[in-house]
Structure 1
Amino acid sequence: MNQPKILILGAHGLAVRDLQKALAAAGFTVDLDGDYDEGTEHAVAAFQRSVGLVADGIAGPKTFAALLGKRDPLHLGFADLERAAKTLGIPVAAVQAVNEVESKGEGFLDNGRVVILFERHVFYQRLVKAHDQAEADRLAGLHPNLINPKSGGYAGGAAEWQRLTSARQIDEACALESCSWGLFQVMGYHWQDLGYASVQDFVTRMQASEAEQLDAFVRFVKADPALLKALKAGKWADFARGYNGPAYARNLYDVKLERAFARYSAAAPAKDAA
């Protein structure tokens, strides 16, 4: 099967036809026409539900792997979303919307390591707090790509782990606290407020599974009454502002969340019947 990174509603071509053939072989009714229409989207969602994946109708690496019989237990499942919704007291559709819009889509790299983003400006701030500004400035002069009052210097993907490895040689705890971790990009320095025993405990949990990464997001929302209130009320602009900061509007996070919530809410009865 030809496996692109991701296929969504509106895609067309040989890759879509290969996907449709795989769905048909798995027993799902779908036209083999190479068009990713609503019928294909529904078939993908039905297959995802059948194997316990998040049923979003989007064919990505997790769906392709499951079609090949390689369902990874580290991946997030629909039962995990249901559990999160119950804990937060919100509709499952709300968690599905957040998972679609706010998560990175995959919590692990191809090499099995958790997805991270090392923030050099946060490392600078953590060093100031752990030591003092003079020491942080001294270290910043020696390692400006790792320690800097200004954000930036990102390498992306697995290369972020190389940056983290170098930073850990300077200060282990501060380095771990200076990364965002997993699907929902929760910063390591939140570990204490979220009820973890240590930053090392937090990191170990993030490496364990995407379900643990979702749990970190749940803890993060529960720890912020305003964020939880916005999520419960479906006030997507307020939620997006609290979760993403003032740049949320430029990236249309609130619009994307509202649309995703409406789509999952409309599909909920059909999913329950299935």
Structure 2
Amino acid sequence: MTLKKGNNGYQVRDLQQRLNAAGAQLKVDGWFGDATQKAIEQFQEKHDLPRTGYAGVRTLAILAGESRSKFIQHSQLAAAAIALGVSFAAMASVAEVESSGFGFFACGRPAILFERHVFYRQLLESDAAVAAEFAAKYPNICNPARGGYTGGSGEYQRFAIAYQLNPEAAICACSWGMFQIMGFHWQALGYPSPQAFKQAMDASEGEQLNALVKFIEADPVLHKALKSRKWAEFARRYNGPAYKENDYDIKLARVYQQFNATSKQGADNAVAA
């Protein structure tokens, strides 16, 4: 759920009450206007959240008293921008458009999508006979064709079966976290093992952001495209040749303009909090 300027109703009223409990002095009228937006920005700044001016998963969770240990921080985004040699607006744009929104499922485990065809391919590289055997026995887990998705945290049921069959191949066969980076990139990103990559993804959105930085650094063409803000080239390298189906390049350009304009006005830039 996301509450933003222009919303109204009991959910906004509850948000205003929680903001007041955290130190704001809002009129609790159920209308999300300028005052509520400013109060959220102040709350986000105080808690080192990405400063958006609207209340998303992270802001609402912290207002509800949940731990912030796994949430991405504004300072981490700033550090990532410095590491990559790009503006905060460019880094924030990538994090906004290319993230899955939230790095963890409600159950507390990192967001994943298990790819049975990748599991099959991983097994095939080491033992073709084993790949064929598992494909025959577990077609929804090991298959040369895509598919079999259950979605959401239900993917962990498929992952658990694959992990019993071959832990490393199972990790490699999942996309992980906010930025859905495939596990088979573990070595190229400098992790000592697939298990070490998984442990990082389990730890926090900050670690998931670190993986994104490593992923961009590992691809000089992708990195150069980001530095020069060639969004079509960046989207093609990051999302694949079908990037135009979801207008990733257009979204990146639009979000960057918004963030850059805000920066020039002296305000903070942000990604979804």
Give the TM-score, by structure 2 length: 0.90
3-state SS, counterpart of residue 170 of structure 2: helix
Displacement of 1:18 in angstroms is 2.4
3-state SS, counterpart of residue 202 of structure 1: helix
Aligned equivalents of 2:222 and 2:25: distance in 1? Answer: 41
Aligned equivalents of 1:246 and 1:58: distance in 2? Answer: 33
Q: What aligned pairs does 1:2-151 form with structure 2 within 5 A after superposition?
A: 5-28=1-24, 32-37=28-33, 40-132=36-128, 134-151=129-146
Match of 1:222 among 217, 221, 237: 217
Cα deviations across residues 24-78 of structure 1 (Å, max 9, x unaligned)? 4434466655344555444423321221111123312211122234341111100
Aligned AA (1:17): R
Greater displacement, 197-206 / 97-106:
97-106
Displacement of 1:241 in angstroms is 1.2
3-state SS, counterpart of residue 117 of structure 1: strand
Greater displacement, 80-89 / 149-158:
149-158
Cα deviations across residues 128-184 of structure 1 (Å, max 9, x unaligned)? 11212x432332121110111221111122211111110012211111100011111
Is 2:268 aligned against 1:271? Answer: yes
Aligned equivalents of 1:36 and 1:256: distance in 2? Answer: 25
Aligned AA (1:169): Q
Q: Structure 1 245/53 Cα, relative in aligned 2: closer, same or farther at 3 Å?
A: same
Aligned equivalents of 1:266 and 1:239: distance in 2? Answer: 21
Aligned equivalents of 2:210 and 2:247: distance in 1? Answer: 25
Partner of 1:233: 228
Aligned AA (2:246): N
Unaligned runs of 5+ in 2: none
Give the TM-score, by structure 1 length: 0.90
Aligned equivalents of 1:38 and 1:117: distance in 2? Answer: 38
Q: Structure 1 30/157 Cα, relative in aligned 2: closer, same or farther at 3 Å?
A: same
| Identity in percent | 47
Aligned equivalents of 2:35 and 2:233: distance in 1? Answer: 34
Which structure would you say has the larger RCO, counting Cα contacts within 8 Å and 6 or more residues apart?
A: 2
Is 2:240 aligned against 1:245? Answer: yes
Aligned AA (1:159): G
Aligned AA (1:270): A
Aligned equivalents of 2:100 and 2:259: distance in 1? Answer: 19
Q: Is the 8 A contact 1:178 1:188 kept in 2?
A: yes
Q: Is the 8 A contact 1:118 1:180 kept in 2?
A: yes
3-state SS, counterpart of residue 175 of structure 2: strand
Aligned equivalents of 1:266 and 1:50: distance in 2? Answer: 23
Q: Is the 8 A contact 1:236 1:258 kept in 2?
A: yes
User: Aligned residues, how many?
Assistant: 267
Unaligned runs of 5+ in 1: none
